[in-house]
Amino acid sequence: IYTEQGNSGISFDVKGEMIYFVGVEAHKKLGDILEIGVGIKKSTEFQEKNLEESEDSWFSTMPVYLSGKLIIGNDFKYYIQGMAGYSINTVGKEWKDYDVNSGVNYGMELGIEVENFSAWIRCDITKFKVVLYNGATIEGTLKQISLSVGLKFGE
pLDDT, position 84? 97
Q: How many residues does the chain have?
A: 155
Amino acid (1-letter code) at residue 45: E
Write down the pTM of the prediction: 0.78
**CA 135 centroid distance within chain:** 26
Q: Which residue has the higher pLDDT, 4 or 25?
A: 25
pLDDT tens for 106-152 read 999 999 999 889 999 999 888 888 777 777 777 777 788 888 899 88
Contacts for 94 with CB less than 8 Å, ≥ 6 apart: 54, 56, 57, 58
Inter-CA distances, 84 with 33, 91, 123, Å: 20, 22, 12
What's the half-sphere exposure (Cβ side, CA atoms, 13 Å) at 86?
3
Question: Is the per-residue pLDDT at 79 higher than 90?
Answer: yes
What does the pLDDT read at residue 7? Answer: 46
Helix and strand numbers, DSSP H then E, in the chain: 0, 11
For 95, half-sphere exposure in the C-beta direction (CA atoms, 13 angstrom radius) is: 23
Is the C-alpha dihedral spanning 41, 112, 79, 30 positive or negative? negative
Mean pLDDT, all residues of the chain: 79
